[in-house]
Amino acid sequence: MPNHIITLTPTVTPVAADLVVTSSDPAVAAARLAGDKIQVVGITEGTTTICVNSADGYAFSDSCLVEVYTERGDVNCDGFVNISDVTVLIDALLSSDIAYSVENSDCNNDGNVTISDVTALIDALLGGATLPGKDSEIITVNGLSFKMMKVKGGTFLMGATDGQGDQAYDDEYPVHEVTLSSYSIGETEVTQALWQAVMYSNPSGLTGNLSRPVETVSWNDCQTFIAKLNQMTGKSFRLPTEAEWEFAARGGNLSHDYMYAGSNNLDEVAWVISNIPSQQPNTEGYGTQPVAQKAPNELGLYDMSGNVYEWCSDWFDAYPAEAQINPTGPGDDEGCHYRVNRGGS
């Protein structure tokens, strides 16, 4: 992955002085003046926090989150999608060596890099087609596939905002500003089929359909599941933080500020005790329901309201009043006793 150059707008007018970069990314180590802008050199694909000062300590730019990414079709990761990417992709296919970003090379988003991706890229360059965005990724484990949905980072008000009306609990105050980097989250709750594919067992009390969400699992059970899933896929899955969960449930940057996840009408988006079709224990209609049967929210996520409660990574504690960036909740040494679960059931 080659280095990229990003441009920051400083909080004050820059002067001719040496610039000092402080960053969470060790590769970001240089900055230069470009007119009334500051260019930061060395950042690669991903998200980082950057602060630029002059050598005498006078701040040019407040600390800020910066996200740099390359587009699908930018096979050589130079920041542009053009005919050179076609050449690189063909060369890589002929040598059976995809030495560049596989995600960028998968131009038709089918999970494979083949000659059909060359065709899709050429069609896009000729103006006859549009390459799919990086809004989802299909993961397959033991022959079972599931989808991770991209949530673009942003800033939102977390807690009992006006949109929730009287549906909020007392512990959802105070409302506070949260800024998140981009991340991905599962399109649906973890199903019994996926749990079984990873763990070779099904602990659920309500069975009969493997498309139901897995339940009767503790937070620690989930950590074991995640560790095995990571080992099987080579990925780095984890539980979402509570802030990530809420931002995704609200629809991220596409939010319409609904009361529930995707609608103001609970029946449209959620299975709850008032609308399940049967009350006979351990039968198809009782309790939990197969995932993705109701309407999704603005990000294409299902069952963020209703069906089963969903674990988050955080310890449970009171919300802070101050603004936060990528909060992870209190530490395990702060006297907390419970983990957060969200979503309703």
Q: What pLDDT shows up at residue 52? A: 73
Bridge partners, residue 38, by sequence: 8, 33
- Backbone angles phi and psi of 180, in degrees to 5: -120, 145
Check if the beta carbon of residue 72 is closer than 8 Å to that of residue 37: no
Q: What pLDDT shows up at residue 271? A: 92
pLDDT in tens, 66-124: 555 556 788 876 667 889 889 989 988 888 765 555 667 888 777 778 898 899 899 88
Q: For the chain, list residues with pLDDT below 50.
A: 1-3
Pairing outcome for strands 30-34 and 324-325 = unpaired
Pick the CATH number of 83-133 from 3.30.70, 1.25.40, 3.30.1070, 1.10.1330: 1.10.1330
Q: What pLDDT shows up at residue 252? A: 92
CATH architecture of 141-342: Alpha-Beta Complex (3.90)
Q: What pLDDT shows up at residue 46? A: 56
User: 244: part of which helix (H) or strand (E)?
Assistant: helix 242-249
pTM over 0.85: no
Q: What pLDDT shows up at residue 142? A: 93
Residues in the chain: 345
Q: What pLDDT shows up at residue 306? A: 93
Q: What pLDDT shows up at residue 7? A: 61
Tokens standing for residue 202: 């099904």
DSSP, residue by residue, 252-300: GGG----SBTTBS-HHHH---TTT-S---TTSTTSSS--TT-S---TTS
Domain with CATH 3.90.1580.10 in the chain: 141-342
Q: What pLDDT shows up at residue 345? A: 80
Please return the burial class of 26, using the count of CB atoms within 10 Å of its CB with bins 0-12, 13-18 and 19+: exposed
Check if the beta carbon of residue 64 is closer than 8 Å to that of residue 56: no
Domain with CATH 1.10.1330 in the chain: 83-133
pLDDT in tens, 17-54: 567 777 766 666 666 666 666 666 665 555 566 777 77
Pairing outcome for strands 59-68 and 30-34 = unpaired
Pairing outcome for strands 136-141 and 59-68 = unpaired
Q: What pLDDT shows up at residue 135? A: 73
